Amino acid sequence: MSMQNIRAFMPRQDLIAFLVLAVVIFIAMPLAMDIFRLNLVGKYLTYAFVAVGLVLCWGYGGILSLGQGVFFGLGGYCMAMFLKLESSTPEATAIQSTPGIPDFMDWNQITEIPWFWEPFHSLPLALIAVLIVPTIFAYIIGVAMFKRRVGGVYFAIITQAVASILTILIIGQQGYTGGVNGITDLRTLLGWDIRSDSAKYVLYFVNGILLFACLLFAQYVRKSKLGRILLAMREREDRVRFTGYDVSNFKIFVFCLGAAFSAIGGAMFTLQVGFMSPSFVGIVPSIEMVIFCAVGGRMSIIGAVYGTLVVNWAKTSFSESFPELWLFAMGALFIGVVMAFPSGLAGLYRNHVGPFIEKSYKRLRLSYENYRKPDNLVTSD
């Protein structure tokens, strides 16, 4: 890549934003927090995967999905299935009537592992499934909807229905899915205890690195022509279509990408929190994830990460001190962001904080130059 290409991919401002975020995630947070808080941040950051995907889908592509929890959940479930099988050794489950299968299957009179669980004995297959299953699911929905030009509000409502179908299905088929409890009590990954403090540190950093990989890819998409086409499409879909683009393919792509990001987040969630449950698949978490994105600024991938962190941090601390007020605050946040700050934290930064920093920086630089001047007086004057 030539220097110019790099510049185009990552303008100076974006580079600074990426670096600052890297410092926050990889240095500041781990230094400032104990492992309990850090693990919490790690959990929040798994939602950031979804939010970043939503920036591309919704902010850029204009596709508002109210079912991102489906993909988060599917990714998380794929991971959880592997971990559950690993922890369901005949020794650990000796108390069951059929030892060696996950506990909830035993409770539901299932005596052997169902076929679709079989691939999850293998970690590589499970990891592939984490990415592939949600993406294919998104692809099917995407083809069905976008090829027929279903968009906007209708798409939002249908994704919502999909989320509710999947929730009922997971809860109803509890013998295969763990039902409303989810898949719980996950302990080890290839023998490595994921509940220990050291594992939590490692997982936090793995999570951070994966998030940055996703962010960099998202940045690449943003800055590629594809990013501009998405913007163009959102504004003038017909114009793009009559410029010779198959618009639906672009929508499908970005929807699948969002799904894949969410799935990675879901898998990391399972690893860090130690269980997966249908409460992430439903409508409420899916809409909450949209608000993370909206608070961060629906056009800013970095903003989405901060948005996720801020909302969740507020949620945790608010609900610790004033549990009853939390919903009021959350509701007000939704309304406030939509009505007063449609471009979220990123917009706030761009319009107020950024110029201020710029000004201060210039002033600083000016005073620095003034300070340097006396040295040069001899030659210059």
Residues 80 to 99: which contact another protein by CB under 8 A?
95, 97
229 touches another protein by CB under 8 A = yes
Report, in Å, the least distance between residue 346 CB and another protein: 15
The residue whose two tokens read 């999570």 is 207
Query: Contact with another protein (CB under 8 A): which of 25, 29, 38, 39?
Result: 39
- C-beta of residue 290 within 8 angstroms of C-beta of residue 54: yes
Binding segment for another protein (CB under 8 A), chosen from 37-45, 115-123, 206-214, 302-310, is 37-45
- C-beta of residue 155 within 8 angstroms of C-beta of residue 63: yes
- Residue 166: count of CB within 10 angstroms of its CB: 19
Q: Which positions from 248 to 287 touch another protein by CB under 8 A, shown as an x/- string?
A: -xx--x-------------------xxx-x-xx--xx--x
188 touches another protein by CB under 8 A = no
Interacting residues with another protein between 121 and 150 (CB under 8 A)? 144-145, 148-150
Report, in Å, the least distance between residue 381 CB and another protein: 39
Identify the sign of the CA torsion 352, 40, 205, 29: positive
The residue whose two tokens read 């220097």 is 3
Question: SS3 letters for 91-131?
Answer: CCCCCCCCCCCCHHHHHCCCCCCCHHHHHHHCHHHHHHHHH
Q: How far apart are CA 112 and CA 110, in angstroms?
A: 6
CA 182 to chain centre: 20
Interacting residues with another protein between 281 and 340 (CB under 8 A)? 283-284, 287, 290-291, 294, 316, 319-320, 323-328, 330-339
- The nearer residue to another protein, 21 or 79, going by C-beta atoms, is 79
| Residues near another protein (CB under 8 A), total | 104
Interacting residues with another protein between 2 and 31 (CB under 8 A)? 5, 8
- The nearer residue to another protein, 21 or 39, going by C-beta atoms, is 39
Write the CA distances from 278 to 74, 77, 137, 207, 259, integer angstroms: 10, 9, 17, 22, 17
Query: Contact with another protein (CB under 8 A): which of 17, 64, 113, 301?
Result: 64
- The nearer residue to another protein, 187 or 350, going by C-beta atoms, is 187
Buried b vs exposed e over 340-369: b needs ≥16 C-beta within 10 Å? ebebbbbbebbeeeeeeeeeeeeeeeeeee
Query: Contact with another protein (CB under 8 A): which of 3, 31, 190, 238?
Result: 238
